[in-house]
Structure 1
Amino acid sequence: MIRRLAAGSAIVARHRSEALAAWVAAGRRDDLSGWAAALGPAVRLMALTAVAYGVLALVRATPWLMWLLTAWWMRAAWRATAPVEDTDEEPLDKEEQPPAEDPAEAAVALLREVLGDRPGVHLSEVLAHLQKHGQGEGWKVADLRLRLEALGIPVEPKLKLSGVPTRGVRAADLDRLFPTEETSPSPVRVDAA
């Protein structure tokens, strides 16, 4: 739960900051040049600063408001990492419903599919595979990394494949943490106390 909230917080923070930066940048006027064109973003930045100062003053005046803001943030973070459900289909009867798939198992299955027999795979390749199949639209590599780490899948910061070091997942890590039937380790004896 903590990993999911942490990953969701990072996603929400990035999305909010990108949205605010885009809003400030949208104030620039293309029909003007020089300092006159930059007045729009400057005014928007000052308005944003005034709102932030107002919220800070309001929270200092009424500290209980911080609990509401915290609850809102945690809800947004939780929902940011929630699995996407397709609501277009009619719900199946209880007898017809397939068992719910574990998100970590689904992610590992996807990684194994993209990996093939290679020693590792870059996250950019996994994201391209997802988007090719109509999933992960609008995601960036950072979004995928946060989701994988929230599921307990280790991501190497500089996995070198074909001479290019970038973020990726090693097949050895998947085999170690999520063994398949062929690579499952021998049973370990546990003494009952």
Structure 2
Amino acid sequence: MATDPEADTVELPPVPTFGRGRPQRAAQRIHPRRIAAGHLKLYGQLRGWALAADGKTRAGRLAALALGTLTAYRVGHQDPRALALGAAAYGVAAWRAGRPVPPTREELQRRFLLGVRELIGDRPGIHLRELYDSFQARPAAAHLDDARLRAVIDQCGLTVHRSLRIGTVTGKSGIKLADVEALLSPEKEETPLSDVDAGQGSPEGAVEPTQTHVEPPVEQP
């Protein structure tokens, strides 16, 4: 998927969900993980349909499922070709149901930041040249040139330092590990203080503490 560095929005490098190679083709391959994911999805839908009703309706749905399973078993036992056709049809349905859901922009940004952190390792940062070469060597980002990768870095909010020292190499622009960690785990905003905690007056309707009135002692004549 090409990316225009001059556009207002930048598409991040896609990540293949199934298989290998280019993401568009990898997601469409007949991969066991996609069929397994589709099977779990179909099973969850069928289970939810059977248990969604109450009382007699639920019992009727469960009985219908049991009868359908028994009928399919008898037909498959009598005619193995019907069993093979049924299994093939269910495999196609599971493959279609297991179609990967496109990740959100926030998820793509997080994947990119995780990839940068993995490339940095235990070093204080990484130079841009090494970052570009490492990403372009992967099939998911092989179609992105330096300008497009730089646009992705800016879109993720990373700061590019003009001179970053890593080991004995200095004088090259790069990204610090601290900046990546800050974007992956942002600090939680402090909870605002209430009016009373902030030193303001008590809110309207608050109950004031009662004062005890002590009567003076009566002197005896």
TM-score (norm. length: structure 1): 0.48
Which protein is bigger by CA-based radius of gyration? 2
TM-score (norm. length: structure 2): 0.42
